[in-house]
Structure 1
């Protein structure tokens, strides 16, 4: 059975890129364009991994990571943050919120998939 990945990304092009790339590697993917729906969908979809944009309208990826890590049914799911924030203190802040991995945009497709595989194998 294919591993399941929830992709939370408000940018349509990035969402399509991530979903197409993950599907090409035979993963089951559920896209979420609006962060306000992410926690509810995570409970329903039961992903093995969440790929989370940090800069989103309405609710930030940092807030969503914190919400997921406080939810007993979601806290064990690894989260990979994908963001344009690329400073050292940005990475520290994102990891402190509970992200298990961090990939900066523009992404390297190889690095993105290496991180996905590592998190799914853990």
Structure 2
């Protein structure tokens, strides 16, 4: 399956997402903050990134914008994970370069569907 980077500062959320992804056959990398996530994205070459929006220090939207500006990481799909669920918040994630948006608490079927759709789109010939 896919190598997925999870950038999440909440230990319980990280554990849940890792379990869900492993159950679906994916391999995971994990980072507790945006800076570590940026480093892992550059060195680990994940197929997809799950990015928490509210992180200590640099937020997930800033980190996503930096990833999308760098040629080495620009093509990696990013799914924003956020407890913010207002219409304006979705627009902020899109403006930062996120390819999808999932509100917390996570619904595993929605998570799997978003991952599958983005991985299929990434694999499709241009």
Instruction: Calculate the TM-score normalised by the size of structure 1.
Output: 0.96
The answer for the alignment partner of 1:102 in structure 2 is 101
The answer for the alignment partner of 2:31 in structure 1 is 32
Deviation at 1:120, TM superposition (A): 1.1
Question: What does 1:12-91 correspond to in 2, within 5 Å?
Answer: 12-91=11-90
The Cα offsets for residues 10-61 of structure 1, whole Å up to 9 and x where unpaired, read as 0000001111110111111001112211111111110010000000111100
Alignment check: 8 A CA contact 2:5 2:46 kept: yes
Gaps of 5+ in 2: 122-126
Instruction: Calculate the TM-score normalised by the size of structure 2.
Output: 0.93
Runs (4+) of structure 1 exceeding 3 A deviation are none
Gaps of 5+ in 1: none
| RMSD (Å) for aligned C-alpha atoms | 0.7
